[in-house]
Amino acid sequence: MTPATRTPAAGGGAGPAPGRAGAGTRALRIVWALSAVAALWWSLGGLEVTPERLSRGLPQAGTIIRQMFTPPNWAYLPDVAEGLSQSVQIAALGTFIAAVLALPFGALAARNLSRLAALPLVGKLALNVIRTFPELVLALLFIRAVGPGPFAGVLAVGIHSIGMVGKLYAERIETVDRASLEALSASGASPLEVFRYGVVPEVLPDFLSFALYRFDLNVRAATVLGLVGAGGIGEKIQIMRTAQQWPSVGTILIGVIVLVGLVDYVSARLRARLT
């Protein structure tokens, strides 16, 4: 407990007093540090995080972790691969849906495309609202519509991702030179054509890069969806955890780490080549 409470004091105090020299600075720092400690104390107090619980739980956690990896259940590997590829499928299709559906939102939310000042505000608000519903909650809803399984996961990932992808789209569109769009409409192009010939060529590489970035995040999300029954490796985690098959859980963890690391690496490499 003690080290955990003392170190944040330094962290909490460092924040709000950067570079501001003066008589009050030191006192201010101490006030901030003390309030950070107090707030932390209050938080932990409400969480039943007691030394006894920790001293009981941590050794148990150690035992379980040892069981997971000494050795993992390699025979379970084919099942893990199957679950992981389903997670990738959920992420791929979900990202695609989001990348397409985010287009109208992004265009709506971009300030330089709209004639009305209110539309971009509405668009940005809509994107923020979408982002606020977590994938897992959406997954629970879509399970109502299409039943449990990966399809519900695809829909949850697809809809949730619109929020972030749409926001990135809008911000990118806003950096497109307004004058080049004006030149197109001066030649008689319709708004749709202005978008197709003035905006799309300028932003396409970056849009692809946003989609790849979101795919990276969605692969992580798709490993979790199964915990609520929406497909992917998460379902196997849930099963093996409930059955206390720790070596199999270990195999799954290794698989997840390898997959996420790999996707992270590939996505970053592809994005570096796009820009």
Partner 1 sequence: MPAKPPFPWRGWLAAFAVAAILAWSWRGTGFSLAVLAQGLPEMGEYLARLTPSAERPWHARYLPEIQARLLETVRIAFAASVIGSALSLPFVLVGTRTLAPARWAYNLGRGFLNLLRTIPDLVLATVLVAALGLGPLPGLVALVFFTFGIVAKLLSDTIETVDPGPMEAIAAAGGTRLQRALFAVFPQVAPDYAAYTLYAFEINVRVAAVLGLVGAGGIGQTLMTDIQLFRYGRIGLVVFSIFVVVLVIDAFSTWLRSRLV
Partner 2 sequence: MAAAPASPPVVAFENVTKQFPNGHVALRNVSLTFPRGEFVVVVGLSGAGKSTLIRCVNRLVTPTAGRVLVDGVDVTSLGDAALRRARAGIGMIFQNYNLVRRSSVLRNVLAGRLAYLPTWRTLLGLFPRADVELALRSLERVGIVEKAYQRADTLSGGQQQRVAIARALTQRPAILLADEPVASLDPPTAHQVMRDLKRLSREENLTTLVNLHFIDMAQEYADRIVGLRAGEVVFDGPAEGVTEQTFEAIYGRRIRPDDLRGAAADEAAAAADGAALAR
Q: How far apart are CA 199 and CA 24, in angstroms?
A: 52
Paired tokens of 237: 């985690």
Q: How far apart are CA 84 and CA 231, in angstroms?
A: 10
Of 9, 36, 154, 184, which one interacts with partner 2 (CB under 8 A)? 184
Q: How far is the CB of 177 from partner 2 (least distance, A)?
A: 7
Q: How far is the CB of 69 from partner 1 (least distance, A)?
A: 12
Of 153, 198, 226, 250, which one interacts with partner 2 (CB under 8 A)? 198
Q: Are 25 and 17 in contact (CB under 8 A)?
A: yes
Q: Which residue has the tokens 């929020």?
A: 163
What is the residue type of 98? A
Total site size for partner 2, rule CB under 8 A: 21
Catalogue the E-assigned strands of the chain: none
Paired tokens of 272: 């570096």
Quick one: what does residue 2 bind among partner 1, partner 2, none, with the CB cut-off 5 to 8 Å set by partner type?
Answer: none
Please give the residues from 109 up to 138 whose contact with partner 1 meets the rule CB under 8 A. 128-129, 132-134, 136-137
Give CA torsion, residues 127, 171, 103, 178, to 10 deg.
130
Using CB under 8 A as the binding rule, whether residue 50 contacts partner 2 is answered as: no
Paired tokens of 218: 């969605």
Using CB under 8 A as the binding rule, whether residue 177 contacts partner 2 is answered as: yes
Please give the residues from 202 up to 241 whose contact with partner 2 meets the rule CB under 8 A. 202, 204-205
Cβ proximity to partner 2: between 179 and 272 the closer is 179
Cβ proximity to partner 1: between 150 and 198 the closer is 150
Taking alpha carbons only, the member of 169, 52, 7 closest to residue 100 is 169
Q: How far apart are CA 204 and CA 26, in angstroms?
A: 51
Please give the residues from 185 up to 244 whose contact with partner 1 meets the rule CB under 8 A. 220-221, 223-224, 227-228, 231, 234, 237-238, 241, 244
Using CB under 8 A as the binding rule, whether residue 175 contacts partner 2 is answered as: no
Please give the residues from 23 up to 62 whose contact with partner 1 meets the rule CB under 8 A. 36, 39-40, 42-44, 46-49, 53-54, 57-58, 60-61
Q: Which residue has the tokens 């590489």?
A: 205
Report the residue count for the chain: 275
Q: Can you give the binding site for partner 2, defined by CB under 8 A?
A: 177, 179-180, 182-190, 192-193, 196-198, 201-202, 204-205
